[in-house]
Amino acid sequence: MQDSLAPLTLDGHYLLHEMFRVRRGEWRKLLEERRRGLAEAAAGLLAKMEKRPDGASCAVAILGQKADLMLIHFRPTLEDLHQAQQDFAGLELRDYLEPAGSYVSVVELGLYEMTLKIYSELEGKGLQPNTPDFDKALAEEMARQRERMKGRLTGAIPPRPYVCFYPMNKKRGEIKNWYAEGVRRRSEMMREHGVIGRRYGEQVSQIISGSIGFDDWEWGVDLFADDPIVFKKLVYEMRFDEASSWYGEFGPFLVGLQFSASELGRLLEGQTPALHS
Amino acid sequence: MQDSLAPLTLDGHYLLHEMFRVRRGEWRKLLEERRRGLAEAAAGLLAKMEKRPDGASCAVAILGQKADLMLIHFRPTLEDLHQAQQDFAGLELRDYLEPAGSYVSVVELGLYEMTLKIYSELEGKGLQPNTPDFDKALAEEMARQRERMKGRLTGAIPPRPYVCFYPMNKKRGEIKNWYAEGVRRRSEMMREHGVIGRRYGEQVSQIISGSIGFDDWEWGVDLFADDPIVFKKLVYEMRFDEASSWYGEFGPFLVGLQFSASELGRLLEGQTPALHS
Amino acid sequence: MQDSLAPLTLDGHYLLHEMFRVRRGEWRKLLEERRRGLAEAAAGLLAKMEKRPDGASCAVAILGQKADLMLIHFRPTLEDLHQAQQDFAGLELRDYLEPAGSYVSVVELGLYEMTLKIYSELEGKGLQPNTPDFDKALAEEMARQRERMKGRLTGAIPPRPYVCFYPMNKKRGEIKNWYAEGVRRRSEMMREHGVIGRRYGEQVSQIISGSIGFDDWEWGVDLFADDPIVFKKLVYEMRFDEASSWYGEFGPFLVGLQFSASELGRLLEGQTPALHS
Amino acid sequence: MQDSLAPLTLDGHYLLHEMFRVRRGEWRKLLEERRRGLAEAAAGLLAKMEKRPDGASCAVAILGQKADLMLIHFRPTLEDLHQAQQDFAGLELRDYLEPAGSYVSVVELGLYEMTLKIYSELEGKGLQPNTPDFDKALAEEMARQRERMKGRLTGAIPPRPYVCFYPMNKKRGEIKNWYAEGVRRRSEMMREHGVIGRRYGEQVSQIISGSIGFDDWEWGVDLFADDPIVFKKLVYEMRFDEASSWYGEFGPFLVGLQFSASELGRLLEGQTPALHS
Amino acid sequence: MQDSLAPLTLDGHYLLHEMFRVRRGEWRKLLEERRRGLAEAAAGLLAKMEKRPDGASCAVAILGQKADLMLIHFRPTLEDLHQAQQDFAGLELRDYLEPAGSYVSVVELGLYEMTLKIYSELEGKGLQPNTPDFDKALAEEMARQRERMKGRLTGAIPPRPYVCFYPMNKKRGEIKNWYAEGVRRRSEMMREHGVIGRRYGEQVSQIISGSIGFDDWEWGVDLFADDPIVFKKLVYEMRFDEASSWYGEFGPFLVGLQFSASELGRLLEGQTPALHS
């Protein structure tokens, strides 16, 4: 097993995070009836997207000026994801929203420990990586893993009211370089990292997505909780573990309130939407 | 006690800093009577927010072009904070203000020395971290601390005329890395840092808020003083202590004049508001 | 052979990547007939560009808010490239598109191993670099290489539906510095890098272009595949090889769907275009 | 004397640099008479500001697209500074100017050598820093220094035609860290730095202002000269001294032509204003 | 001779690079006759600037979206440079151009080897730097050099069709720091750098300008060639020399086509201008 071995991953549904700011001045100029009509049309589309059985969407009201609204779309293919983006862009409401950022990624289950186990087993049987026999055995094992974890690959949206989203990288510095660490060392650090995560397991649901090759950071992290202070506690505590203290690089953080499509009108009319539960 | 132990914190009210620039050209085009009406409506909302018993707001006139106006909202929940943002956004005045930045955080009392003390005591009694007994004893102790410090958790706004706001991080470099230092070492550095702060205790009131998981820096710092030169003296002197010289990373600084809601009209009409006292 | 020897390269057609966002609000205000007319004129120009025998163009629908549309123009000269840019800018459709980034480069075949071989041979014959005899022999050899590889220098656009584009640099840090490594060491690392690339050879077609002296990064990379997950797998796996882990610096990533000119109207009307095949 | 001792400083008038771009398209649309009226009103305000006995303002025509106009306001208090900003913002001309940056700071005389001398003397008398006796003696000494240098604290604007402005920091790297150097070492480096400055003393007048706690860099530097090539010679030569080569970090540079209020109209009408002398 | 000695330089004409994007939507709305009138007026001004005997201007059509048009003005004084900027800004065409960047600098001939020679000679005669005798002898020598090189100080614009412009710095890192290297070491590295430059001497004409104290990078580089691939070859090869690999920092690159004033109308009407020769 090479030191530079990349971990195996299971990749599931594609994700698009879309952020928007409301053009309040323009919106306010519309007659109330017109506003209601545009909001209802948007809520109707969003309600359909919420209920999709295979890859749904959800809406989040964002705190602060970075965005007013964030949509997270999960879809089985990039074409479906593009069509979701097009459908929302096709709403008349969109003339009153301005783009405030987006993120393209794919649900990713990292299998560090499994990688070591599978490679050890296959190499124990005398198979060499990048040979047809090895690749076939590996593909069979990955198919088993995919079947076992399929429930976590489609990004079912956790029904919790608070949402935190941020992208991250593993550092490639001139001294500290995640990608130059050996696969066993990386696996140990990820295990330690996972221990903290599991301690918060009941309080936070997380969806990790990979974006290497798709967007500007390497991963996206979505956290869902019933109490927002848990976001701070979890991320702060993790910052002291080795995988994060030396190797974690964190992008902009967004925090907000998940709400259901039927609350979109209230948000646009200046109310805080009822929390999703 | 693990070297990588995260400090205990007490978390209080949530904060939103909202910055705005006045669209002077558009504002000037309004009739004086209309301007007066919009300013009065805004001042009325702000006056109510100033007087909230549980989590108030204050207004600051900013020097320079980064912003003309900064609002700081303290609220007990994220929903309350979102509603404050929505209420201000719902004013007709907002059509004449453009967003110029924001910051989401939560009042945080860091308890480095207390962390060492509590962990030492509990470990002295033979309790191990992350066991039910330890967690129960810790929760009881934290409840006592919370009760003892509750006055400092709701962010009562200091009645001083000058305000300085900036966000900051602790460095995670390839050599110098706050999060890789042992908890005792971090605690010592924070104590030294605190000594300087206390020397300025009479001249400056400060509110530290945590924003890990909420916004792009790790902490926000609000300073309030009766003489603005004290901001420079304090921040400059602290820059030489070890916690800051090697580990402090500082974001953009804003400085301005706190004023009460009744002065908002004067600010909008081109006067410097009477200072808050 | 000097340690600081630059690798020989074969340079082919010039490339311009142009990214655009659709001004949806303005576009929507047009009558349907007018929209159809503008889209048809643009599709007509694009169709001609797609069919150019010597340096064509292709169109990509981008995921997320970075851009809606990316064009890639390959042309034999900078003047031709400029005229392509001017022709597209001259469309009435352009009033409904806003610029969202661009990239200027030239198809580049890096010849690290060939460089070592040629220099060794010529020096073996007693020729010294930067002398007339050496330069003449080198020029003859390069002409042979150019003839041998000419099919790969004009950037024939791979007929695969998914496209990934990103720019990159080789790091020039204070410790890790690609340009200060000896030519043999660089050649070895590029060979290792190429081994991974070749394992993905059937799944991905790539076009490398050089942009030193032309744009802000040193290279542009265009990947074309039949399954977009391959972009992530390839780029992730490569990130662990030495040429990338220590020396690769990566710019923003764009991912999208290649489509043919005849689908442009559908894209503009809010549909996901049929995939190019 | 602690190694981490911060240098004593004398702080004088507050400064605001305001930069603007002319909205030429809008400006040109006005009738000439209207333009003349707006320019005269602005020139009138500026003329009054130029003549203020206690903290004046000056105007600079900037080269390049970063700004067309820079104002530098010196005022005894932050309120006065805010009122200057408000007064200029209240001009009708401001509808034809767009903000292009600003900088808030305070005239600062750094007293490195004096700091060592005073601390040595007081410690020689057996006084300990941060005790009442020490603080009293220090305050008396600082009052004497303030009296001695008061002419340099109010920022009298040098009557020279060329102006260069830039902000700067002292580096806090992971290896090279100004704030972690001992006070004697810092003092030596500042002395060496001052020697170069004094060699240019006749050719350049400089005003150093401190902005820690007020704006995003630590200091602002304004240089005034009779020949602009001197800016380059001075800053280039200084870049090789130790205080700058290892520790200086420089922000954006602006260079321009100082002019008097009566020339504002000519600037706005497309002429280069007569140089201030 | 001090190790920290700054190299002597000869400074010539001042330069302003001005970049613009065409507001195509607005431009297209004009009647053809009006467009022709505005283009002719601009071409007329530009033609006069092209023919100035003492400090001319030239125009470049830029590839990609960074800019459509770059002007380079050479003028003997900053006032002349400002007037050039004002004259172009005064054109009605400017309402259809938006600023896209600028750069202020001064033609600079670096004299590293000459510096060593002069200082050695003068010190050999027993003269000490920064004494009146030394300064007098140095001034006389510099006057001779200026006379000798005067043809290269006024920035005569090379009549070659392709232009590449980029700004650069010498690195001041924590380990690798150009400004902390001794003057002899710096001189050696510049000599090695110059050897490569001279090998390309027939293919490329270059103008180096200094911008320390004037703009945000330390130097600007303008390259002019008959074949644009030479820009890439030259800059790539130089990147491996020590002065560049460890110490060069490069800003954004622009590449384009030089054209004469009479072609401006064609550019604005959507054609690629005939190349300047």
Name the amino acid, one letter, at E16: L
Sequential DSSP letters for D137-193: HHHHHHHHHHHHTGGGTS-PPP--SEEEEEEEEE-B-SS-BGGGS-HHHHHHHHHHH
Split into its structural domains, chain E has a count of 1
E49 lies in some domain: yes
ipTM of the complex: 0.96
Q: Which residues of E touch D178 (CB under 8 A)?
A: none
> Which chain E residue has the Cα nearest residue C211?
E232
In tens, the pLDDT along E36-51 reads 999 999 999 999 999 9
Q: Which of A63, A171, A232 sits opposite B210 (nearest CB)?
A: A232
Structure confidence at residue C1 (pLDDT): 83
B192 interfaces chain D, CB cutoff of 8 Å? no
Q: Does the structure show a pLDDT above 80 at E277?
A: no
Which residues of chain D register pLDDT less than 70?
277
> How many angstroms separate the CA atoms of C250 and C170, rounded?
9
Q: B232 by DSSP, 3-state: which?
A: helix
Nearest Cα neighbor of B210 from B198, B218, B201 is: B218
Print the domain residue range for D101.
13-106
Sequential DSSP letters for C90-126: TSGGGGGEEEEEEEEEEEEEE-HHHHHHHHHHHHHTT
B96 assigned to active site? no
Q: What contacts C206, CB < 8 A, 6 or more positions away?
A: C197, C221, C222, C223, C224
| pTM (two decimals) | 0.97
> How many angstroms separate the CA atoms of E102 and A42, rounded?
44
In tens, the pLDDT along A177-231 reads 999 999 999 999 999 999 999 999 999 999 999 999 999 999 999 999 999 999 9
B221 lies in some domain: no
B240 interfaces chain D, CB cutoff of 8 Å? yes
Name the amino acid, one letter, at A96: Y
Test B28 with D92 for CB contact under 8 angstroms: yes
C191 lies in some domain: no
B228 interfaces chain D, CB cutoff of 8 Å? yes
C38 lies in some domain: yes
B192 lies in some domain: no
Listed by number, the residues of chain C in 8-37 with a beta carbon closer than 8 Å to a beta carbon of chain A are: 21, 24-25, 28
C100 lies in some domain: yes
B211 lies in some domain: no
> How many angstroms separate the CA atoms of A203 and A206, rounded?
10
Candidates A103, A112, A166, A200; catalytic one: A166
Q: How far is E203 from chain D (nearest CA, A)?
A: 31
> Which chain C residue has the Cα nearest residue A215?
C253
- Long-range pairs for E83-88: beta carbons < 8 A, 24 or more residues apart: E83/D271, E83/D272, E84/E16, E84/E49, E84/E57, E85/D63, E85/D64, E85/E16, E85/E18, E86/D270, E86/D271, E86/D272, E87/D270, E87/E45, E87/E49, E88/E18, E88/E42, E88/E45
> How many angstroms separate the CA atoms of B75 and D13, rounded?
38
Average pLDDT over residues B251-265: 97
Q: A175 by DSSP, 3-state: which?
A: coil
Angle between helix axes D229-238 and D183-199 (nearest 10 degrees) is 150
Q: How confident is the model at residue E99 (pLDDT cuts 50, 70, 90)?
A: very high
Name the amino acid, one letter, at B145: Q
Angle between helix axes A112-124 and A132-148 (nearest 10 degrees) is 140
Q: E184 by DSSP, 3-state: which?
A: helix
In tens, the pLDDT along B45-91 reads 999 999 999 999 999 999 999 999 999 999 999 999 999 999 999 99
DSSP state letter for B55: S
Test C214 with E253 for CB contact under 8 angstroms: yes
Residue A209 structure tokens: 């997505």
Q: How far is E41 from chain D (nearest CA, A)?
A: 16
> How many angstroms separate the CA atoms of C263 and C40, rounded?
10
Q: Does the structure show a pLDDT above 90 at C276?
A: no
Q: How many CA atoms lie within 13 Å of D138's alpha carbon, on the beta-carbon side? A: 22
Test D85 with B64 for CB contact under 8 angstroms: yes
D199 interfaces chain E, CB cutoff of 8 Å? yes
Nearest Cα neighbor of E273 from E44, E61, E93, E37 is: E61
Average pLDDT over residues A13-41: 97
Q: Which of B79, B82, B212 sits opposite A236 (nearest CB)?
A: B212
β-strand pairing of B162-170 with B219-225? antiparallel
Nearest Cα neighbor of D234 from E114, E210, E155, E244 is: E210
Q: Which of C21, C199, C231 sits opposite A213 (nearest CB)?
A: C231
D125 lies in some domain: no
Q: Identify each DSSP E strand in chain D by its residue range.
A: 9-22, 57-62, 69-75, 97-110, 162-170, 204-210, 219-225, 248-250, 254-259
Q: Are E163 and E256 spatial neighbours (Cβ–Cβ below 8 Å)? A: yes
Percentage of chain C with pLDDT > 70?
99
Q: For CA atoms D116, D119, D122, D124, give the dihedral sign.
A: negative
In tens, the pLDDT along E180-219 reads 999 999 999 999 999 999 999 999 999 999 999 999 999 9
Assign residue D48 the CATH number of its domain.
Answer: 3.30.70.1030
DSSP state letter for E159: -
Sequential DSSP letters for B87-139: HHHTSGGGGGEEEEEEEEEEEEEE-HHHHHHHHHHHHHTT--TTSHHHHHHHH
Residue B64 structure tokens: 């320079």
Test D255 with E214 for CB contact under 8 angstroms: yes
In tens, the pLDDT along B114-172 reads 999 999 999 999 999 989 999 999 999 999 999 999 889 987 899 999 999 999 999 99
Q: How many CA atoms lie within 13 Å of B111's alpha carbon, on the beta-carbon side? A: 19
Q: Which of A16, A103, A174 sits opposite C175 (nearest CB)?
A: A174
Percentage of chain E with pLDDT > 70?
99
Q: How confident is the model at residue A1 (pLDDT cuts 50, 70, 90)?
A: confident
